[in-house]
Amino acid sequence: MARRNPVVEAFQFDPESDPDSEAPEEVDTQRLQQDVSEWCRCGKCATMPTEVENICCMKIPQVTRRLREVEQQQTCMVDHPGLEPVCLNVYSIQNARQIYRADYGPLNLRRIHNRYRYPSYRSFVSWCWGLLGRSIRVVLPACVVLRIRSEFPAEEGHNVGFKRPPV
């Protein structure tokens, strides 16, 4: 009896996106010129280098859904009791790096803070949006990015920021 080799399709085991989730909000092109208080509702954001990054946690439905899960509702994702254990705890991030390595291969992140910052961003995305799939990117709230950067600062102060996926 001859064995048949099954056809393997890329991403066939990736979960589908959440049908309840909404597309990211359109970004106001004037946000770089605006005062932070004009677009930030949580009070913990700061102006980011690009206009697309100037978005508050309270403006993203996937993030506000996480905020509503807590009994004592928070006004900023930075204050959510789950942020530290999911995205800032070094042991959780080491575990996330191992999972990433098993799925995609090693990360080429040499500097210690980079080794934690990038998986921390990924953990936040996974926690709020679920698994998005390869080359699907979302803009993280400015307050969360600043909190992660304060925990794992870039050496020489150089942060990359949001990059659109390759076309």
pLDDT at position 72: 83
Q: 149 and 50 in contact (C-beta within 8 Å)?
A: no
138-153 mean pLDDT: 93
pLDDT at position 35: 83
Q: How far is CA 50 from the centre of its chain?
A: 16
Q: Is the pLDDT of residue 45 over 90?
A: yes
Task: For residues 51 and 61, give the distance between their C-alpha atoms in angstroms, rounded to a whole number.
Answer: 19
| CB atoms inside a 10 Å sphere around CB 102 | 8
Residue 122 exposure: Cα atoms within 13 Å on the Cβ side: 21
To the nearest whole percent, how much of the chain has pLDDT over 70? 65
Q: What is the DSSP string of 23-53?
A: PPPPPPTTTTTS-HHHH-SSS-----SSGGG
Q: Mind listing the pLDDT tens digit for each residue in 87-116? A: 999 999 988 888 777 776 666 655 555 678
pLDDT at position 99: 78
Mean pLDDT of the chain: 77
